[in-house]
Amino acid sequence: MIDRISKLLARFDELDLDAVLVSSAYNRRYLSGFTGSSGYLIITKTARYMLTDFRYIEQGKEQCIAYEIIDYYKKGLLDTIEDILLKESISSIGFEDSKLTVKEFEQLITKFESIKWIEMNNMIEEIRMIKDDSEIELIAHAASIGDAAFSHIIDYIKPGMTEIEVAIELEYYMKKNGASKLSFDSIVASGKRSSLPHAMPTNKVIEHGDFVTLDFGCIYKGYCSDMTRTIVIGEASDKQKEIYALVLKAQLNACNHIKAGIIGKVGDGYARDIIDKAGYRINFGHGLGHGLGLEVHEKPRLSLLSEDLIKENMIMSIEPGIYIPGFGGVRIEDLVLITKDGIRNFCTSPKELIRT
Ligand SMILES: [Mn+2]
């Protein structure tokens, strides 16, 4: 935690900050280790406070060793903040402008008129883009639960099952194998429904000849995984083979070329150009990938317009797809660590077309 706090302190001068107020759950957890549902951090150049309520005092003391824990219910939140700001002689404080509600912000600026409230502009989210060793290890483990779940599900899935039955089995397997929750609602889309990039599982029965796209992930000790595979039930048609081979070619080309130092739109192009040249430009309408960590979608992005600089120790998805209404779709998604020379792929599941 101290390393993460140091990274934040190193950026205080950019915005002329004396302190920051952190109110959002993911940033709070990142900077303190606190897993509870309610709490505020106040971090100054020399002191750290975690404000929470009675339910979390004991837990806070265990998890947030670097912080002084204060029960703000005793005096009320605003008066508790006031005590700290006075004690620490704070005259300017950064806040999470993309997280605080308008009402919360108005209460703060009304109560503390003499203090300068400064928008942090996702400063903490930017620090979170670069993963430290412990985060890399947890995400790798979350991804390994996903790989194991996929290998289980390709033995389990049979024609006649519904999409919902398959999704439940996936989710049960991940939770039974160490996941605390899902990182998002699992996608199981079969047959023509596989042309819907974010289809929710339904009672549709999986049939012989269907493409089935499985996009799923879990949370392990707070960190997400995310992977996608498309399989075919029984024999693939020539058209299915063609589309699948094209998405795979694009995905492999991106995996082979993405490395630290490129710009997001260049990374996106490694996959998109191949799909465009084959005539499927309009069938790949989403970005190639996104950052991932405590949240399943984080900065940076690999997309058509992304100017984000891709750096070492970012963790990103690489997930091209082709979606053809009335026919179906294919997406192949791996989760990778960006390295100086390329990537380290956390997903070990096979990528050639699996027929079950
Ligand atoms: Mn994804």
CA 53 / ligand 1 centre spacing (Å)? 35
pLDDT, position 67: 97
CA 225 / ligand 1 centre spacing (Å)? 9
Measure the CA–CA gap between 176 and 197, rounded to whole angstroms: 27
**Prior bond of 350 cis (ω within 30°):** no
Specify the pairing of strand 227-232 against strand 211-216. Answer: antiparallel
Domains parsed from the chain with CATH numbers: 2-127 (3.40.350.10), 133-345 (3.90.230.10)
Q: Amino acid identity, residue 327?
A: F
In this prediction, residues 74-78 reach a mean pLDDT of: 95
CA 187 / ligand 1 centre spacing (Å)? 11
CA 44 / ligand 1 centre spacing (Å)? 36
**Residue pointed to by tokens 């002084």:** 68
Measure the CA–CA gap between 235 and 247, rounded to whole angstroms: 18
At residue 190's C-alpha, the angle toward residues 187 and 191, to 5°, is 150
Tens of pLDDT, residues 122-146: 999 999 999 999 999 999 999 999 9
118 has a pLDDT exceeding 90: yes
Q: What are the residues whose beta carbons fall under 8 Å from the beta carbon of 38, sequence distance 6 or more?
A: 52, 53, 55, 56
CA 81 / ligand 1 centre spacing (Å)? 38
**Prior bond of 159 cis (ω within 30°):** no
356 has a pLDDT exceeding 90: no
Phi, psi of 38 (to 5 degrees): -145, 130
1 has a pLDDT exceeding 90: no
Measure the CA–CA gap between 256 and 318, rounded to whole angstroms: 11
CA 45 / ligand 1 centre spacing (Å)? 37
CA 335 / ligand 1 centre spacing (Å)? 8
CA 113 / ligand 1 centre spacing (Å)? 43
Q: Is 324 exposed, middle or buried (0-12, 13-18, 19+ CB in 10 A)?
A: middle
> First-to-last CA distance in the chain?
46
C-beta neighbour count of 169 within 10 angstroms: 18
Measure the CA–CA gap between 48 and 19, rounded to whole angstroms: 9
pLDDT, position 2: 86
Tens of pLDDT, residues 277-297: 999 999 999 999 999 999 999
CA 290 / ligand 1 centre spacing (Å)? 7
pLDDT, position 355: 87
Rg (CA), the chain: 23
Specify the pairing of strand 19-22 against strand 92-95. Answer: parallel
Measure the CA–CA gap between 163 and 172, rounded to whole angstroms: 14
- Total number of residues shown for the chain: 356
Residue 197 tokens read as 């990039």
In this prediction, residues 146-159 reach a mean pLDDT of: 97
